[in-house]
Amino acid sequence: MAAAAAHTAAAASSSSQHLSPSPTRRSRHHSRSQHLFSSPVPHGLRQCSHRVTHLHSPSTSRHLLPMSCSPSFPQDPVFFDQQQWKRAEEGANGGCAFDGRDDKPREECGVVGILGDPQASRLCSLALHALQHRGQEGAGIVSCDGDTLKSVTGLGLVSEVFGKDPSRLDALPGDAAVGHVRYSTSGAASSPLNVQPFLAGYRFGQVAVAHNGNLVNYAALRARLEDQGSIFNTSSDTEVVLHLIAISKSRPFVARVVEACEQLEGAYSLIFLTSDKLYAVRDPYGFRPLVMGRRRSNGAVVFASETCALDLIDAQYEREVERGEVIIVDRDGSVSSLCLIPRRDRRACVFEHIYFALPNSLVFGRPVHRERYNFGATLAAESPVPGGADVVIPVPDSGFFAALGYAERSGVPFQQGLIRSHYVGRTFIQPSQKIRDLGVRLKLAPVRGILEGKRVVVVDDSIVRGTTSSKIIRLIRVAGAKEVHMRIASPPIVGSCYYGVDTPSTQELISNRMDVEGVRREIVADSLAFLSLDSLKASLGEEAPTYCDACFSGKYPVPPRENEITRVEL
Ligand SMILES: O=P(O)(O)OC[C@H]1O[C@H](OP(=O)(O)OP(=O)(O)O)[C@H](O)[C@@H]1O
Ligand SMILES: NC(=O)CC[C@H](N)C(=O)O
Ligand code: SF4
Ligand SMILES: [Mg+2]
């Protein structure tokens, strides 16, 4: 219970705890299977002592290994032979500039890729709709009919970009498509130039990319590329990937992708589309989710950030894209799997389970609703309300399952004491504080009949800036509640995220500025408790060490870097 006390503040209590915001720089850990990837690889295809076929690009000295080198990967790889390498070489296809629009700095998006369905762009727009919670600033799709890649992107929601004017989807023919919903981490939210997928032309053809994540060495990479003469069209970190691919001397395209990715630091779940293939790549730590499935009707391959996107377009979930894996899907439907070098210990973002992902999704192999329920139940055991409570209410939406877990474990009845408007989006994701302030009041309305005269436990998934909690507590008091006890199903957020979640600067994080008692006073709760970090880890079980919890612990798997260059905002 010591941990519980450290994370709890009651009106009568003066307990205080200040959590250090400073990121701890850590050396990188190599995974147990690291030696497999760095073992010497003879030229061409060979069977090694691990019974792994190593792949060696004949035109470069790069070592590419089939992903099956890890015994845990469920799919048999399709090994490339020399002929396939040859065919994979891209023919010159005419160049094209970026699909212009523009940018400011931040992070978390949704990506989708489809190959093998004549309705690819329509399915893509539906899948993006299912991923809308991951980003609301912009949406886009690039499709390909086997020859030319075409792009439609725009600021706003998927329905705003694609729903109003059917001709926009008509302009995206073909059986392959890649899509993106944006929540900016690097590059202005308001700039249409920064809306993905980015479409570019390089020496051997066209390539489109959709990225979820954030590159911590983006500024340094961009400075180097600019020194070498690259001209950037956007202020997004993602654009460096295209430049690295374009300047690579490796062949075929997948070797360029691998060479580019080896220079990236940070988080990236990427989907690439070229005229003849679809590629999915996940960074060596696996910070951001990425899953693969197939449409039940015709076997079309689908990649998406979350399984909720697969469900909507009737695609059967097959597996995660593994960390450090590159999956290549050919137009004939064949699927190959390679791995990036080096591969690291997994550091999946625990905040996906806490807040970002939808509860009906499977993320990192776990049902999100179950994780949230468990966090809430653990919180109830750790931090009951002293003197008891009459009702447990969730802060909709993402506090719902944690509140259910809290109510069931504590034995206090669960009620829907706050009603959510369906017409207001996520407040955390809103770009300005003014909009967030208004957003909370527009979005949530108290139910007087449930709250009046009651000792109310309010359960939310997280406190970031404190905007939501303070507004909600005021609303609940105005509705007549006798006491309001706030319970948060995650630890205090004390550090910014550098891996694709646009958590604000550390100064804006309320738990960075003050201890738990200070936050309680600020939000004017009768008591406040956070789930302790130890309990969060206990709830994750054996896999706890494979999660990133840097925004709670300050332990950053990849050292964050400050921007080292100044540049003109586009
Ligand atoms: O402390 P704050 O800065 O207010 O941020 C924390 C709040 O933001 C998120 O909700 P959001 O409204 O974004 O989305 P949701 O509807 O999915 O819960 C989160 O669930 C908290 O409620
Ligand atoms: N949230 C994200 O994953 C953002 C992707 C990319 N870093 C951007 O800012 O557009
Ligand atoms: S710092 Fe936090 S939000 Fe960012 S990847 Fe790690 S756990 Fe997720
Ligand atoms: Mg919320």
Whether ligand 2 lies within 6 angstroms of the CB of 237 is answered as yes
Residue 507: CA count within 13 A, CB half-sphere: 0
Please tell me whether 339 is known to bind a ligand: no
**Considering only CA atoms, which residue is closest to atom 1 of ligand 2?**
108
The stretch 242-261 carries a mean pLDDT of 96
pLDDT digits (tens, 9 = 90+) for 261-312: 999 999 999 999 999 999 999 999 999 999 999 999 999 999 999 999 999 9
User: Which atom in ligand 2 lies closest to the alpha carbon of residue 267?
Assistant: 3
Q: What is the pLDDT of residue 433?
A: 59
Please determine, for residue 48, whether its predicted confidence score (pLDDT) is greater than 60.
Answer: no
**Rounded to the nearest whole angstrom, what is the distance from the C-alpha of residue 216 to the centroid of ligand 2?**
12
Which residues sit opposite 30 in a β-bridge?
A: 344
Claim to verify: residue 370 and residue 285 sit in the same structural domain = no
Claim to verify: residue 311 and residue 449 sit in the same structural domain = no
Please determine, for residue 115, whether its predicted confidence score (pLDDT) is greater than 60.
Answer: yes
Q: Answer with the one of 312, 344, 376 that is the final residue of a domain.
A: 344
Q: What is the pLDDT of residue 35?
A: 23
Nearest CA among 289, 269, 266, 271 for reference residue 215: 266
CATH code, domain with 106: 3.60.20.10
For 409: left if phi > 0, alpha if psi spans -120 to 50, otherwise beta; the answer is alpha
Residue 10 within any structural domain of the chain: no
**Rounded to the nearest whole angstrom, what is the distance from the C-alpha of residue 269 to the centroid of ligand 4?**
25
Whether ligand 3 lies within 6 angstroms of the CB of 550 is answered as yes
Please determine, for residue 6, whether its predicted confidence score (pLDDT) is greater than 90.
Answer: no
Please tell me whether 460 is known to bind a ligand: yes
CATH code, domain with 517: 3.40.50.2020
Please determine, for residue 440, whether its predicted confidence score (pLDDT) is greater than 90.
Answer: no
Helix (H, G, I), strand (E, B), or coil: what is residue 510? helix
Are 135 and 185 contacting, i.e. CB atoms less than 8 angstroms apart?
no
Nearest CA among 525, 527, 493, 498 for reference residue 510: 493
Please determine, for residue 319, whether its predicted confidence score (pLDDT) is greater than 80.
Answer: yes
Claim to verify: residue 334 and residue 364 sit in the same structural domain = no
Ligand (nearest to CA of 270): 2
Please determine, for residue 99, whether its predicted confidence score (pLDDT) is greater than 80.
Answer: no
**Considering only CA atoms, which residue is closest to atom 8 of ligand 2?**
184
> Max CA-CA distance within the chain?
77
Could you give the number of structural domains in the chain?
Answer: 2
**Rounded to the nearest whole angstrom, what is the distance from the C-alpha of residue 293 to the centroid of ligand 3?**
26
Residue 57 within any structural domain of the chain: no
**Considering only CA atoms, which residue is closest to atom 2 of ligand 3?**
551
Q: Determine how many CB atoms are found less than 10 A away from the CB of residue 28.
A: 13
Q: Answer with the one of 286, 320, 344 that is the final residue of a domain.
A: 344
Claim to verify: residue 458 and residue 393 sit in the same structural domain = yes
Claim to verify: residue 483 and residue 547 sit in the same structural domain = yes
Q: Answer with the one of 281, 315, 344 that is the final residue of a domain.
A: 344
Within 8 A by CB and 6+ apart from 423, the residues are none
Q: What is the pLDDT of residue 341?
A: 67
Are 128 and 181 contacting, i.e. CB atoms less than 8 angstroms apart?
yes
Please tell me whether 497 is known to bind a ligand: yes
Range of the domain at 169: 94-344
Of how many residues is the chain composed? 570
pLDDT digits (tens, 9 = 90+) for 174-184: 999 999 999 99
End-to-end Cα, the chain, rounded Å: 51
Burial of 453 from C-beta contacts in 10 A (0-12 / 13-18 / 19+): exposed
**Rounded to the nearest whole angstrom, what is the distance from the C-alpha of residue 31 to the centroid of ligand 2?**
27
Alpha carbons 361 and 205: distance in angstroms, whole number? 36
Nearest CA among 273, 286, 285, 279 for reference residue 337: 279
Please tell me whether 398 is known to bind a ligand: yes
Mean pLDDT (the chain) is 81
Backbone angles phi, psi at 266, to 5 degrees: 115, -150
DSSP 541: G
pLDDT digits (tens, 9 = 90+) for 24-45: 222 222 222 222 222 222 222 2
User: Which atom in ligand 2 lies closest to the alpha carbon of residue 194?
Assistant: 10
Alpha carbons 443 and 445: distance in angstroms, whole number? 7
- Tracing tokens 């089939």 back to the chain, one arrives at 66
Lowest mean pLDDT among 12-26, 119-133, 312-326, 405-419: 12-26
- Residues involved in catalysis: 109
Q: Torsion over CA of 167, 172, 178 and 182, rounded to 10 degrees?
A: -30
Ligand (nearest to CA of 500): 2
